[in-house]
Amino acid sequence: MTRLISILVGLGFTFVVLLAFVIGAWTFATEEVTPTAEHEFHVAPRHASYQFDGALGTWDYQQLQRGYQVYKEVCSACHSLKLVGFRNLAELGYTEAEVKAEAASWQVPGVDPVTGEASTRPGTATDYFPSPYPNDVAAAAANNNAVPPDLSLMTKARHHGTEYVRSLLTGYRNPNTFSVDGVRLKEEFPDFETPPALHFNPYFANLNIAMAPPLTANGQVTYADGTDPTIEQMATDVSAFLTWTAEPTLVRRKQTGWPVLGFLLFATVLAWYAKKQVWAPVKPKKRKGDNPA
């Protein structure tokens, strides 16, 4: 009796699951999809070429240093970089003295040795980049209730992350005049509005983003190498820098891959010749019914 009840219960669960699957599939196939502004006017990131692209790509260290400068002078006012240490800047071509000087130019959390109270102090090479806010509550209060995300892994957390960051930084538009393939947003969705505290950006998933345009004018930073600091150039440089922060071993991984592929190819050829050498003297047994050679 117990076995029969168990079988019936199992069949009941199976029937319910199948019924839910059939109803869901039928609803998906027959329900009319209502177009939304987010679906129709969210655009893919614009393609850009970087020196680290491709199987033979390498870092452009001057570009990474320029990107770090953009982050320091523009992005660090709101965004943290908590997974990157000042000592990691040596990988960008900075000398030990320059790394120490850069670290000392930042204020990091510390403790007053006399009173024991929380304070700030100049950074050292062993410190990590500090957050601009003491906690998420303070960050939200300063940014229209939106907590600015940490940028350490941003290009790994977004599809086409490097191009996404670059496109987002340069993608702020006027929703009243924005169009895709000749179709204007306001003509297709006349009720679409950007709230006063938000900003229209078609590269952002829901079109309205809390972050104000961070790059507002050419020459916002002054590059030491003389590169013209246009908005496009600054966005390209900082997106390359954030690609390095997200995966500093990117180029090393590519360079390691080629010897590994070469070894695997050599091992495959060696195994094939070994197989031919070992089994060459062994003749297959004739089976009954085989035609004589």
Tell me: the pLDDT tens digits for 77-130? Answer: 999 999 999 999 999 999 999 999 999 999 999 887 777 788 889 999 999 999
Are residue 78 and residue 152 in the same domain, yes or no? yes
Q: Is 79 labelled a binding residue?
A: yes
Residue 47: HSE in the Cβ half-sphere, 13 Å Cα cutoff: 2
Identify the residue with better confidence: 206 or 27: 206
What does the pLDDT average to over 238-259? Answer: 95
Same domain (yes/no): 93, 228: no
pLDDT given for residue 290 in this prediction: 59
| Same-domain pairing of 118 and 197 | no
Q: What is the CATH number of the domain that holds 53?
A: 1.10.760.10
> Residue 234, annotated ligand binder?
no
Does residue 212 share a domain with residue 122? Answer: no
Q: Is the pLDDT of residue 269 over 70?
A: yes
- pLDDT band at 291, cuts 50/70/90? low
pLDDT surpasses 80 at 65: yes
Under 8 Å CB-to-CB from 62, ≥6 apart: which residues?
A: 225, 227
Say what the pLDDT of residue 26 is: 79
Q: Which domain holds residue 121?
A: 85-128
Q: State mean pLDDT over 272-282.
A: 83
Contact in structure between 209 and 199 (CB atoms under 8 Å): yes
78 belongs to an annotated ligand binding site: yes
Determine if residue 75 is labeled as part of a ligand binding site: yes
Please check whether residues 49 and 156 belong to one and the same domain: yes
Helix/strand/coil (H/E/C) assignment for every residue in 41-79:
HCCCCCCCCCCCCCCCCCCCHHHHHHHHHHHHHCHHHCC
Asked whether the beta carbons of 98 and 141 are under 8 A apart, the reply is no
> Mean pLDDT of all residues in the chain?
91
Q: 195-222, pLDDT tens digit by residue?
A: 998 999 999 999 999 999 999 999 999 9
pLDDT of 292 > 60? The answer is no
Instruction: Quote the pTM value.
Output: 0.83
Q: Are residues 153 and 229 in the same domain?
A: yes
pLDDT above 80 for 247: yes
Same domain (yes/no): 138, 44: yes
